[in-house]
Amino acid sequence: MTTTTLDRPLPRSYMTEEQKVGMSQNAIYVCESVLADEAEDEEAAWAWLALAKMPESANYILKEVCGDEFLKAKGFNI
């Protein structure tokens, strides 16, 4: 089982290895989140997004819209 740098299992993957070729780890996390959302796997979508390094402006908007407690529950390091 592959784990993250936070020693937790990675969420279900929706990308093939071929799709990941040439992408940064961060880009993979974001794309996995989008694909999980499209597959209506909300848990995996949030889990992948929580792994991504996002700009401060995006983090600020997430905090404003979702709240700190929600984001912490989804695995964000807020």
What pLDDT was estimated at residue 77? Answer: 87
Q: Is residue 65 part of a domain?
A: yes
For the cut 70, the answer to whether the pLDDT of residue 58 exceeds it is yes
Per DSSP, helices labelled H in 1-78 are 17-20, 25-38, 42-51, 56-66, 68-73
- What gap in Å lies between CA 65 and CA 61, rounded to an integer? 6
4 domain-assigned: no
Query: For the segment 19-52, what is each residue's pLDDT rounded down to a tens digit?
Result: 999 999 999 999 999 999 999 999 999 999 999 9
| 44, part of any domain | yes
> What is the count of structural domains for the chain?
1
Does some domain include residue 78? no
Can you give the residue range of the structural domain that contains 59? Answer: 23-73
Q: Say how far apart CA 24 and CA 1 lie, in whole Å.
A: 21
Q: How far is CA 4 from CA 10, 51, 57, in A?
A: 6, 8, 24
